[in-house]
Amino acid sequence: MNVDVLLGLQWGDEGKGKVVDVLAPDYQIIARFQGGPNAGHTLEFEGRKHVLHIIPSGVFRNDCVNIIGNGVVIDPIIFEKEIIGLTPYCPNIFKNLIISKRAQLILPSHRLLDAAYEAEKGCAKIGSTLKGIGPTYTDKISRNGLRVGDILSPDFHKKYTELKEKHIQILNMLKFEYKLEEEENKWFNSIELIKKFSLIDSEIEVNNLISKEKKILAEGAQGTMLDIDFGSYPFVTSSNTVCAGACTGLGIAPSKIGEVYGLFKAYCTRVGSGPFPTELNDASGEQLRKTGNEFGSTTGRPRRCGWVDLVALKYSVMINGVTGLIMTKADVLNEFDEINAAVSYSINGEIFENIPYDLSQNIIPQYKIFKGWKTDISKTTSKSELPLELKEYIKFIENFVKVPVIMVSVGPDRKAIVDLR
């Protein structure tokens, strides 16, 4: 059985948590492959809202095993908070959640470094979530990192201290003021909680499950435009958010990838700094933010809003080999008279149909205008009930990127989904 992958095609927050929760009953395993507590994946059901950061979004489905893969970075303190919040709803969590020994640990000093580097950048700051993501992946790549498996080693404290000392040298060089002791105590307490979970060689487990014909869904975090290689560099995160990241972040061979579900909002948002060609700094942008409740799930920051960018979407579909598109938050456009979709970019008077190397140039998006449906679609459950104008909007997107839209999400609840297949 091949592994299906679900990931974001824009700048994150496409509704991955919600859709993984919707699809989870079809799978026996949900596995996160990259990112860490910078992610905020929201699930809503039975009148309650849950936001997950490190834990995969299959955790509320009792029969699902959830794997935190080797590509993920874990902050033990945030992990503990998440577990405590989930225990009343997921009584089997200690059995149903397993963690790769190869996942990297975020130290309290990684978080300090994140803040110090951002402060150093001044106006050019990335707008990081300040969870220590960049410095932790930096240590992984420079072969200095601490891994979950290290917590079982007798010289774990020594390894921790050596890495912390390296960080302190940098913090002192940057003249960054800090306090560490309290956070360190909490961190070591949380490490004890991690020890209560199954810490495994998840790449072996995942491949065993594949050979036993188990159905696995790999859950991405962030989005393609935040990918370290293909996103709007340097305003990106520090991992491969694209489909290839599922191979390296779980230990799956490329030949074992099955369906690739690409999520996109019916419009577009971005949180943090960096280029955003279709951004709307006007009443329509404000309306999207208000109707879509566009405030960060992790940091609470207002998200920047704009029209859907089909130039970027086409690029994301290509990089990921998307086999099925899932449009989310279509209901947020209910009230709009007109809906715009960028189909090309004008740069210095020249028209471009592909995304340029430098997205920070003065880009004027060229829009195709669609008639709005002006109907409340949030209770719609079947394809036949969808308004004609929305069907035309979807058809245009399918033809533009040459991949079918297989589902439309029409509200935050797990029931608010229309299957188009």
Q: Which residues bind ligand GDP (CB under 6 A)?
A: 8, 12-18, 39-42, 44, 293, 297, 328-329, 331-332, 409-412, 416
Give the span between the Cα atoms of 172 and 333, in whole angstroms.
50
Select from 73, 218, 221, 377 the one that contacts ligand IMO (CB under 6 A). 221
Select from 58, 272, 292, 387 the one that contacts ligand IMO (CB under 6 A). 272
- Please tell me the count of residues contacting Mg ion according to CB under 5 A: 3
Give the span between the Cα atoms of 182 and 190, in whole angstroms.
13
Minimum distance between the CB of residue 56 and Mg ion, rounded to whole angstroms?
14
Task: Based on the shown chain and the rule CB under 6 A, indicate whether residue 222 belongs to the binding site for ligand IMO.
Answer: yes
Structure-token pair, residue 369: 């205008």
Question: For residues 362-391, which are near Mg ion according to CB under 5 A?
Answer: none
Give the span between the Cα atoms of 229 and 115, in whole angstroms.
23
Interaction partner, residue 246 (ligand GDP, Mg ion, ligand IMO, none; CB < 5-8 Å by kind) = none
Beta strand 3-8 pairing with 29-32:
unpaired
Burial classification of residue 160, based on how many CB atoms lie within 10 Å of its CB (0-12 exposed, 13-18 middle, 19 or more buried): buried
Within 8 A by CB and 6+ apart from 79, the residues are: 54, 55, 190, 193, 194
Q: Write the DSSP string, 75-141.
A: -HHHHHHHHHHHTTT-TTHHHHEEEETTSEEPPHHHHHHHHHHHHHHGGG------SSHHHHHHHHH
Select from 34, 66, 109, 129 the one that contacts ligand IMO (CB under 6 A). 129
Terminal-residue alpha carbon distance, the chain? 21
User: Which residue number, 147 or 304, has a Cβ lying nearer to Mg ion?
Assistant: 304
Give the span between the Cα atoms of 213 and 354, in whole angstroms.
39
User: Which residue number, 130 or 364, has a Cβ lying nearer to ligand IMO?
Assistant: 130
Select from 133, 217, 339, 386 the one that contacts ligand IMO (CB under 6 A). 133
Select from 202, 237, 297, 409 the one that contacts Mg ion (CB under 5 A). 297
Task: Based on the shown chain and the rule CB under 5 A, indicate whether residue 40 belongs to the binding site for Mg ion.
Answer: yes
Part in contact with ligand IMO (CB under 6 A); list of ranges 141-149, 205-213, 222-230, 402-410? 222-230
Binding residues for ligand IMO, rule: CB under 6 A, are 8, 11-13, 35, 38-41, 126-129, 131, 133-134, 221-223, 226, 237, 271-272, 297
